[in-house]
Amino acid sequence: ALQKPEDARRVLEKVGARAPGEVRAKAGVLLAQSYQEQGLWSQAAEAWQALIDSKATDDQQVISVAWFSLGLCYLKNEQTVY
């Protein structure tokens, strides 16, 4: 899967609302990171925002990483946040 990020993302995107919150959170992190690692900043930002909005986890470390990474994506993508 490491050499086929598109295939991995398709699998991660299939993790649905019926999955336990921690599973959804882990899938969300992996999805966002996969976009970020390829420099796909807009898609990564969308994935991080979706993870934040999902409230799938109460883990403050995961939430903090998500917010930090979202800001990084905006910076790399040169988007303005209001």
- Show the DSSP H helices in the chain as ranges: 5-13, 21-37, 41-54, 60-77
2: tokens are: 């490491």
Tell which residue, 44, 36, 34, has the closest CA to residue 1: 34
- CB contact at 8 A, 9 and 2: no
> What pTM value is reported for the model?
0.86
Residue-wise pLDDT tens digits, 3-59 = 788 899 999 999 988 999 999 999 999 999 999 999 999 999 999 999 999 999 999
Asked if 66 contacts 48 with a C-beta cutoff of 8 angstroms, the reply is yes
Number of other CB atoms surrounding residue 39 within 10 Å? 10
Tokens of 11: 């699998």
